[in-house]
């Protein structure tokens, strides 16, 4: 006899199936990025994609199996993994949120030592400069080493935009590196905190199922007949 509500069980299985698909998507992204991973840092990023996708897929399959089969061992392991995942994501998200100024300064010092922008960086920066009204990475138009593209031209500035003169041209003074870093960090923190919240929810749901599975079975009391007929008078006399 099933001890867990079928609606609760299949809801848990459904969300774990979605997470399994999410893990497969991460693995596929790693496969798609592998042909472009020529540098050691890029190869490390691809390996990280493989590892994270595989871990998410395995944990999701474990949770779905434990709920479907009402396996106490699988649900306990899933609950422990959810606790560890929550602690790990908060361990990265909270220091990342508090260390944003330090990260900006580290990146700024790193890009000050760069000699020239690569061709890939130039192609990626052109649409960003035109859309976000910025120029260069962390040093403004100076990052282009005299070859400032037209996307840096200060055209139709808004109230928050600032421009500066470069010889006979007016270019955006705000570096794009600050904007890119801020967007990346905000998205990363949002993903980490969201996954931590989902891990807490998954842990609570698995804990509720563990309690239900481990509950003692209900014992039925012996039934007694409620209708009682006294013996007849003649039967009492003859006895």
Beta bridge partners of 153: 171
Q: Give per-residue pLDDT as tens, 159-209.
A: 777 888 877 788 888 888 878 888 888 888 888 888 889 889 989 999 989
Classified as helix, coil or strand, 171 is strand
| CA–CA distance, 124 with 113 (Å, rounded to integer) | 20
Q: What H or E segment, with its residue span, contains residue 198?
A: helix 176-214
Segment 99-122 shows an average pLDDT of: 68
Q: Output the six-digit token pair for 46.
A: 């691809």
pLDDT in tens, 56-86: 899 999 999 998 888 889 999 999 999 998 9
For the cut 80, the answer to whether the pLDDT of residue 11 exceeds it is yes
Tell me how far CA of residue 131 lies from CA of 51, 151, 153, 154, 155, in angstroms. Answer: 35, 9, 12, 12, 11
* pTM attached to this predicted model: 0.68
């Amino acid at each position: 006899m099933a001890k867990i509500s079928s609606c609760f069980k299949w809801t848990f299985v459904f969300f774990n199936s979605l997470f399994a698909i999410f893990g497969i998507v991460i693995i596929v992204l790693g496969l798609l990025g592998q042909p472009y991973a020529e540098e050691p840092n890029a190869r490390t990023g691809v390996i990280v994609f493989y590892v994270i996708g595989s871990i998410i897929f395995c944990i999701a399959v474990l949770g779905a199996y434990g709920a479907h089969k009402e396996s106490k061992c699988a649900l306990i392991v899933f609950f422990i993994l959810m606790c560890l995942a929550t602690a790990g994501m908060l361990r990265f998200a909270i220091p990342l949120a508090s260390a944003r100024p330090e990260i900006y300064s580290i990146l700024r010092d790193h890009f000050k030592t760069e000699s020239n922008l690569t061709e890939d960086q130039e192609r990626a920066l052109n649409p960003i400069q035109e859309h976000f009204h910025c120029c260069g990475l962390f040093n403004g138009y100076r990052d282009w080493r005299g070859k400032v593209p037209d996307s840096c031209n200060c055209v139709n500035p808004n109230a928050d935009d600032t421009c500066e003169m470069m010889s006979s041209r007016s270019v955006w003074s705000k570096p794009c590196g600050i904007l890119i870093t801020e967007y990346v960090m905000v998205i990363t923190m949002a993903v980490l905190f969201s996954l931590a919240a989902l891990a807490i929810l998954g842990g609570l749901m698995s804990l509720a199922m563990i309690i239900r599975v481990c509950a003692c079975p209900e014992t039925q009391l012996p039934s007694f007949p409620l209708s009682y007929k006294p013996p007849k008078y003649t039967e009492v006399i003859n006895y």
